[in-house]
Amino acid sequence: MTRLSLLAALCLCGTLSAATITVTTTSMVIDVPGAASIPEDPNGRTGLYDPATLNIASLPGTDGLISLPEAIIAANNTAGADTIVLGANTYTISSPNNYWYGPTGLPPITSDIVIEGNGAIIERSSAGGTPNFRLFFVMGPFHTGGTGKVAVSAGDLTLRNLSLRNGLARGGNGGRGGINGPGDNRGGCGGGGLGAGGAVFNQGSLRLDSCLIIANSAVGGSGMPRLPSTNGGGAGGGGIGGGGANGGASGSTGGGFYDHTFTGTSLTSPFGGNSSAGGTIAIAGGGFGPGDNGSTSGGSNGGGDPGSPNIIAGDGGAFGAGAGYGPGGGGVGGGGSIGIQNQTGGSGGFGGGGGGQNAAFSANGGGGGNGGFGGGGGAGGYNSTGPLVGDLGVRGFGGGDGTAGGPAFGWSGGGAGMGGAVFNHTGTLTIINCTFTQNASTGGSSPDITTNGQGLGGALFNLNGSVLIVSSTLAGNSVSGGQVNDGGSLYSLALHGKGVQSAPGTATVTIENSILADATGNSNVAVRQGGHPFDSPAGTSVSSLTTDSFSIIEGGITNFGASVTGTPVTTDPMLAALASNGGPTQSMAPNTGSPAINTGNNAAANLPVRDQRGVARIKGGTVDVGSVETGANVAPVITAPLSLIIAQNTAHTFSATLSIADDAAWGAALQVTLTATQGTATLAQITGLSFSAGDGTADAAMTFTGTLDAINAALNGAQFTPNAGYLGAATLQVDVNDQGNTGAGGALTDSETVALDVQAPNQAPVITAPATASTQPDTALVFTTISVADADAGAGPLEVSLLATNGALTLSGIAGLTFSAGDGTADAAMTFTGTLTSINAALNGLTFTPTLAFTGAATLQIDADDQGNTGLGGALTDTHTINVSVAVPKKGGDDDEGCTTGDQRGYVWLISGALALLAARRRVRRRA
């Protein structure tokens, strides 16, 4: 019974195909019966479910409800594009669901999903002790198929009319080196990992429509100082989501998608991973899949190769390529492991920090591992004999360099913070009518600011992906942490090489009618191509930004070798603070005098019909720039017929003829009053309406409030029913008050009155005629009882059609008739018009003549059409068929009905003939 009570929450369109799923609880619980959860493991797969055991048919859970995680998992595992509907509630997440590219609060998006927010807020809990995690991860094409990998598909996610709040993506801290062995032998520290995408990490397709993205953060992992203890060596680099191990007997791995402690203190971590330290036997980097452990050969899907210099050469290292000989590089998302003695520490994979070098025992050589993309460099080791000092590990893009291994140094570089709200990695990102504010990217700290990671892309970071920003506002976002921090609103980068990807990348950004302003950092918008810190790969990555001349990019664009097209406005947009300006989500409106007001491009390729709030664009003749369309409140407009003629005792339905238009924001309530005279009104439906008078059914007067959509749904199909038996004038008056929604000027109204004329309905014609008739072969049959009546025809013309089979028809006259078929004489078919008087005169004496020598069944069909004369209801008709028998009379004097005509003249003829024959015989006898 629980499942039956929630059928309304599931609208299936075919068996296990596209569906609408309504979330019925704010809980994050997953308790679908029989769902086979993949437990936490080194593969980051926590939260993925066996498709055979959890799909839409499995819902709801044992609690009788549907949670947002349950809805996402079921949609992922059910064919077709699915829509998830939220209520205007706050959905708070307290723990990560999975570890794709770091901890993520909700199940990964691996199919085509639209989430309709209706004003919902999805947030990471702000309670103390809540772990770090972003909100969404949209799967890309990198991780589909293959042995030992999770079989998933690329995702396509649309978020509409909701807010994303308080997500936190933090890179793992580097491990801390210490003293190892006799004397002053100091291990280097591992570099910090990348923090990417505080709200969303996108590798697939992401569309944000009328959303507020607020107070999300991406923070790089910290570069660490050495331990003050006397027991330790080199340390592992931080991962994209987890910290590296400190130096020690069992602590040498770097962090991966998760912390190094996730699976204990193993020297190998297969997923997002790291290999053990190099030694006499060279160990390769860990890979992405469950079986991609570090080994003596390149691990598949591993990370960066060892840093340089290195006594033992290393190979591999781009995104998806295994590390070669030498101390192992971190895998995708993983930090490098340590390098012992004179070897260089392993480089970080994508997002991982470089491993720290162990203490150098014999001679100078080796050093800290290089950071992967966004990872900090590892630090070199130190030995007091000599003294022997290892080199620093070079930073990955955006990370901080490690330091050399001298006694006063040995700390590692911090990881980068990229994309405080969204990190778009090779994906497609579309932003329409959105506000991004208070989002921050912060580079990971280290003992010295010169080795901190950078904060890049306070709201958005685009790496080798495509971004479209339309009619949106990105304001009040920030970057910090490093000595130089760029792209407070947006940073777009095309880059390839070790730890990124092997082939040249392409990054594109297109901006229309948008505001990017009020950012904190060295620049507001930055674009770059190339610039790999320690690799010079073949080919050229290409980055481009195209903006219209209407958008406002305060301070202009900082260009590092990319292609920039267009010249935006660069002045202060003069925005008001974030506020509830109407609609499901908060927004930032331009203040009076703002250069954003009435200065946009009405011909923009992607111009939306409404703004973030749902208010109609364009006001004042020219569209505003940004997510909010300003202007005075515009009065609602009622569309209704001026007058109608309706039938007595018959309800009239307003089908797509009664509606209200207004520029009110989504969710704003309007008030409507319907007043009827000489009748009552009934709405088509009352969902979403609140009544202060009447109830919407058979009311002479009703007043209700509701959103524009709910009101128009109620009016489309509404009925006016005249009072019983009433004839004459009636009215339906419609009044609407927008209650001041939306814009300055106060409440505005409109009123329309439909004039109704209630008339008697048209009455149908009635044909009078016999059902059957008979005649003899070659003998005409004359009808004198056929007529047409019509109570309200008056002098109006009617149309009559006659159709005969196996014979012909001749009217008794044609005076007053007009023919459109036949002429009234010997016709198998004829059609004519005339008054009732003329028609009935012609039918009285209608003759049916059978076809020569024919015997058998014949018919005469009569159709009458009053052509709408007179009254309401349109033309009405009647039809009648006479079955005619044409037969030779039977011998023997039997009473043969086959000899009877419709007017009995054949029978009279037979009797008369018999009497005449009898009289003749009598005369003969008399003569005799």
Average pLDDT, the chain: 82
Cβ contact 264:242 at 8 Å: no
Report the alpha-carbon distance of residue 688 to residue 96 in Å, rounded: 36
CATH domain 637-759 topology: Immunoglobulin-like (2.60.40)
Q: In this predicted model, what pLDDT tens digit does every residue of 4-33 receive, in sequence order?
A: 234 345 555 444 457 899 999 999 998 887
pLDDT at 154: 87
**Torsion sign, CA atoms 234, 278, 241, 460:** positive
Q: What per-residue confidence (pLDDT) applies to 745?
A: 84
Angle at 659 between CA 654 and CA 662, to 5 degrees: 175
Region of residue 99 (phi > 0: left; psi between -120 and 50: alpha; otherwise: beta): alpha
pLDDT value for 748: 96
Which of the 8 DSSP states describes residue 732?
E
Q: What percent of the chain has pLDDT over 70?
A: 76
User: With bands split at pLDDT 50, 70 and 90, how would you rate the model's confidence at 282?
Assistant: very low
State how beta strands 168-170 and 136-138 pair.
Answer: unpaired
Residues 6+ apart with CB under 8 A from 888: 776, 777, 855, 898
Measure the CA–CA gap between 12 and 75, rounded to whole angstroms.
11
Query: With 50 as the cut, is the pLDDT of residue 263 above it?
Result: no
**Strand 10-12 relative to strand 19-22, pairing:** antiparallel
Phi-psi region of 464 (alpha: psi -120 to 50; beta: other; left: phi over 0): left
Sign of torsion over alpha carbons 7, 12, 14, 16:
negative
Q: Is the pLDDT of residue 364 over 80?
A: no
Residue 564 has pLDDT above 90, yes or no: yes
Confidence band of 173 (pLDDT split at 50, 70, 90): confident
In the chain, the N- to C-terminal Cα span, in Å, equals 107
Q: What is the DSSP string of 196-212?
A: E-SSEEESSEEEEES-E
Q: What pLDDT is recorded for position 209?
A: 99
**pLDDT band at residue 323 using 50, 70 and 90 as cut-offs:** very low
Predicted confidence (pLDDT) at residue 36 exceeds the cutoff of 90: no
Q: At 293, is the pLDDT very low, low, confident or very high (cuts 50, 70, 90)?
A: very low
CATH homologous superfamily of domain 766-899? Answer: Cytochrome f large domain (2.60.40.830)
Q: Of 505, 489, 461, give the one whose Cα is nearest residue 568.
A: 489
**What integer pLDDT is reported at residue 188 of this predicted model?**
77
> What CA–CA distance (Å, rounded) separates 84 from 487?
33
CB 430 within 8 A of CB 207: yes
- Among left, alpha and beta (phi > 0; psi -120 to 50; other), residue 657 is alpha
Are 588 and 577 spatial neighbours (Cβ–Cβ below 8 Å)?
A: yes
Angle at alpha carbon of residue 741, lines to 735 and 742, rounded to 5°: 135
With beta carbons less than 8 A apart as the criterion, state whether 585 and 210 touch: yes
Strand locations in 433-517, DSSP E? 435-437, 440-442, 455-456, 460-463, 466-470, 473-475, 478-480, 490-494, 506-512, 515-517
Q: 190 pLDDT exceeds 60?
A: yes
- Of 749, 747, 563, 596, nearest to 672 by C-alpha is 749
Whether 637-759 shares its CATH topology with 766-899 is answered: yes
Mean pLDDT of the region 766-779:
97
Between residues 602 and 146, the one the model is more confident about: 602
Q: What is the pLDDT of residues 603-633, one digit of tens each?
A: 999 999 999 999 999 998 999 999 999 998 8
Q: What is the mean pLDDT of residues 410-429?
A: 95
Q: Which residues contact 4 (CB under 8 A, 6 or more apart)?
A: none
372 pLDDT exceeds 70? yes
CA distance 252 to 275: 9
Q: Which residues contact 493 (CB under 8 A, 6 or more apart)?
A: 397, 461, 462, 463, 464, 507, 527, 528, 529, 543
Residue 907's pLDDT band (cuts 50, 70, 90): very low
- Which range among 215-229, 261-275, 713-727, 752-766 shows the weakest confidence by mean pLDDT? 261-275
Q: What is the pLDDT of residue 825?
A: 98
Residues 485, 488, 493: CA angle, nearest 5 degrees: 75
Band (35; pLDDT cuts 50, 70, 90): low
Mean pLDDT of the region 290-295: 35
Query: What does the pLDDT read at residue 147?
Result: 36
**pLDDT tens by residue, 542-563:** 999 999 999 999 999 999 999 9
Residue 343 has pLDDT above 90, yes or no: no
- pLDDT band at residue 384 using 50, 70 and 90 as cut-offs: confident
Of residues 250 and 673, more confidence is placed in 673
pLDDT at 240: 60
Residue 229: pLDDT band by 50, 70, 90 thresholds?
low
For residue 259, what pLDDT is reported? 42
Q: Name the one residue in this structure whose structure tokens are 């079955």.
A: 883
Predicted confidence at residue 408, as pLDDT, reads 81
H or E element that contains 905: helix 905-927
Q: Categorize the per-residue pLDDT at 844 as very low, low, confident or very high, splitting at 50, 70 and 90.
A: very high
pLDDT for the residue numbered 406: 80
Query: Are the C-beta atoms of residues 139 and 233 closer than 8 Å to each other?
Result: no
Domain residue spans of the chain: 541-631, 637-759, 766-899
Average pLDDT over residues 242-252: 41
* pLDDT over threshold 60, residue 274: no
Between 619 and 918, the higher pLDDT residue: 619
CA angle 113, 119, 122 (to 5 degrees): 65
pLDDT of residue 892: 56
- What is the mean predicted confidence (pLDDT) over 156-165? 99
Alpha carbons 429 and 510: distance in angstroms, whole number = 11
Task: Give the span between the Cα atoms of 366 and 578, in whole angstroms.
Answer: 53
Q: In percent, how much of the chain has pLDDT > 90?
A: 59
Of residues 396 and 444, which shows the higher confidence score? 444
What local confidence, expressed as pLDDT, does residue 386 receive?
Answer: 67
Kindly tell me if the per-residue pLDDT of 656 is higher than 50. Answer: yes
Q: So what's the pLDDT on residue 769?
A: 98
